[in-house]
Structure 1
Amino acid sequence: MNKTFNLLFYVKKAKINSVGESPIYLRITIDGKISEVSTKRTVKPSKWNSAMQKVSGSSEECRSLNFYLKTFEQKVYDSYHELIRDKETVSSEALKNKVVGRGELTRTLIPVFQDHNDRMEKLIGKEFAQGTLTRYKTCLKHTKDFLKWKYSVADVEIKKIDYAFLNDFEFF
């Protein structure tokens, strides 16, 4: 389990834009490792309250920006809990990538199956017979047909393959 997890909103005063506003960033710290995420929002440095980590003021614009920051913070917490629930490695970089939607590799069945068959083809005569490859190619064709018949899709994420999927495929 992680020892520390902390979030901190701050303004990068060194990056003031042409209208005198600075970008708001979120610093994610997990076990002493830091990652920074842009909130894609800007604020005048004089309106930023560092201690409260929010914009000072009661105008509609200030309330709206503070609400956005709270929502953004909740998204980070939700992503953090998702990583824990999915038993994935929780690090500041992994959390940042999950929040910004980067690095989400979705492995699907057909490319994995095709890669397997390509590797098998290279081992014909050494470890496997031609008939074995033929049966794997036939199984791949049946898999594609099954996906079209049962789910009306060309491919499926490997994470979605469960016992029911295998039973249905066997029946098919």
Structure 2
Amino acid sequence: MLESSFGLTFFLKVPRKKSNLRYIYLRITVDGIPKETSTKRKWDITRWDQKAERAIGTKEDSKIINFFLTAIETKVNQYRNDLLYAEHSITSQKIIDFIMGRLVPKVKVLEEFLNHNNELRALVDVGEYAIGTHECKFR
């Protein structure tokens, strides 16, 4: 499902306390709905080009932060393309959740518990644990 507009912007958020070091934020806008999240990286405002949305300079630290931001941008574009190919709806919240790692389906969590319980049952059968360790006593 195509979106009518898509935007990805990196910017330095103004802190409550006056400081030259500011957090780099990512803003994703899909169909006019913006969502923001922190990249959890700080950068000096005097060494930031807002037009290019990248760090200024040729020092190693600016190269590292620019590479990090490019990697995030690539990851977002890849996920967006995956959603397009799968014909799923694209929302800014869905993309932010993907970046933050919050897209683990709940079914997977239940599968992990089932796998853990099966492994524990196998250890009970071998004699490494008592049956009381495996059984639920919350009733």
Q: TM-score surpassing 0.5? A: yes
What is the deviation of 1:53? 0.4
SS in 2 for 1:67: helix
What's the counterpart of residue 73 of structure 2? 73
What is the deviation of 1:39? 1.1
Tell me if structure 2 keeps the 8 A contact 1:15–1:22.
Answer: no
Q: Does 1:14 align with 2:15?
A: yes
* TM-score (structure 2 length as normaliser): 0.70
The structure richer in strand per residue is 2
1:15–1:66 distance in 2 versus 1, CA, 3 Å: farther
- Where does the alignment leave 5 or more consecutive residues of structure 1 unmatched? 112-143, 155-172
1:107–1:17 distance in 2 versus 1, CA, 3 Å: farther
The structure richer in helix per residue is 1
Question: Who wins on radius of gyration, i.e. which is larger?
Answer: 1
Residue identity over aligned pairs, in percent, reads: 27
RMSD: 2.5
Tell me if structure 2 keeps the 8 A contact 1:12–1:24.
Answer: yes
- Where does the alignment leave 5 or more consecutive residues of structure 2 unmatched? 119-139
Aligned residues: 113
Higher relative contact order (CA 8 A, sep 6+): 2
* TM-score (structure 1 length as normaliser): 0.58
Q: 2:48 and 2:9 mapped to 1: Cα distance?
A: 13
Q: 1:45 and 1:105 mapped to 2: Cα distance?
A: 38
1:86–1:106 distance in 2 versus 1, CA, 3 Å: farther
Q: 1:73 and 1:106 mapped to 2: Cα distance?
A: 27
Tell me if structure 2 keeps the 8 A contact 1:9–1:53.
Answer: yes
The amino acid that maps onto 2:85 is: R
What is the deviation of 1:92? 0.3
